[in-house]
A and B are shown apart, each in its own frame.
Chain A
Amino acid sequence: MSAVPTTAIVTRDLVKTFGDNRAVDGVTLDVPTGMVYGVLGPNGAGKSTTIKMLATLLRPDGGSARVLGHDVVTEADAVRDRISLTGQLASVDEELTGRENIVLLARLLGYSRRQSADRAEQLLAAFGLEDAAGKLTKNYSGGMRRRLDIAASLVITPDLLFLDEPTTGLDPRSRNEVWEIVRALVGIGTTVLLCTQYLDEADQLAGRIAVIDHGRVIAEGTPAELKRSVGQNTLHVQVADAADRGAAEQALSRGLEITVAGSGDPTELAVPVPDADAAAAAVRALADAQIPLAGFTLGQPTLDEVFLALTGEVPTEEEVAA
């Protein structure tokens, strides 16, 4: 079998139960090669459990999964040959130095002593860790630890990399560095399965996204498709004086027969519109009613709005941070 499969991951009705809890409840995915595929969902949605089954760490209780053409249960070794996992916990050995962490993995992958040392220097330099190479990793910052963790997954460049919440708990700068690494990986042809609970992260990196909730895929598509599926475009109108908001709402519902939603901002209105013409009509209606505006923008709904529409709940900041 020399043909390169164009689908990196194929799962059909994948199930994993822990006691009464169906953590993964019939997940069907088709992940194309050569892109970042986002798996988006709140805590406890079944993302990590899915990744663990795909990375041969957990045995599925039902359904099937093939990774790079190989069955994850019957051909686990062939799968392990071509994947790498960066788990949710930064799985570096705290009692070893950064260099020793990489050398150990290189040795375990079959490199000679000399080659392992070279590979470690090369990776540590590329990930901006050469100055800390000789320090024990328990003294590393969160960002350094995560970079080392990812570097350790790339001793042999895998065809498929699993990244389980790689930026949870990182500061914005470290998060951007991880994003850079992910983009570079896709640039050289590695497929990345990215689990995240950050809508922003999926939007930034992923070519396609599966939204998972309660162990099931509830939506799938490109970020743009997902946003479109929620509805049309959204016109955000900001009135100059909060007292005018009621009048603006009336003018819009009268003239255009649309339901207008308020937002947390007392001067703002969100107006779902089918197209740009409708948006222009809405602005004209406000002008006719002589309501002074501070501004307006026409845009696609955010992934937050997508999530709200799909699950009926917006992940709160605390949930995201937890």
Chain B
Amino acid sequence: MPITVILADDHKLVRQGIKSMLQSQKDISVVGEASDGVEALKLVADLKPDVILMDLMMPNLNGIETAYQIRQQGYKTRVVFLSMHANASYAVRALHNGALGYVIKDADFSEILAAIQNAVEGKRYLSKAISDEVLEMLLSGEGEKKGSLESLSPRERQVLQMIAEGNTNLAIADKLSLSVRTVESHRARVMFKLRITSQAELVRFAIQQGLIDA
């Protein structure tokens, strides 16, 4: 039994090119073509193919939304994206919405075949060009080095403590007889020096450093 595949892409030329390459494969049969997400969804419902090879951005219903619907409606059809975007953000968004494969359009044809084969077996496949970037993105934010309390000036330390104690910029300005602008700039500097990007983190840091009680 050959693998049944549907192609969905709003660019007819691209569809034809991919189709002719796929048809040279004995174990693959292209059973339908769609030019937007709505058509694609209908074909999936009617033909229940093994795999849909789909463009990311299509009119009416884009590929990501289509993938989500396919999974939501419980179809067994595996989704492989074939995209112009050599970019991890797109790939991660695609995977999050139920796709198993993500291949760049100008990747080697062997990559497309590998993605289809893997998808049939329920395995994920990412184009070589983006797999590193995707991993980095998913691991991002881990093991970031924080700055140290010693890097702060006495004034900045004081402002940090007051922020952690829950004072607003206005209250701090009032207590230290500074302008609100100056307090805002101290706050920004403190966060920059500590490599901290949120208020919650700032409070946690102050507790860890014993500046305030937990």
> Does B bind A?
no
Q: Which positions in A face B, CB cutoff 8 Å?
A: none
User: Which chain B residues have a beta carbon within 8 Å of chain A's beta carbons?
Assistant: none
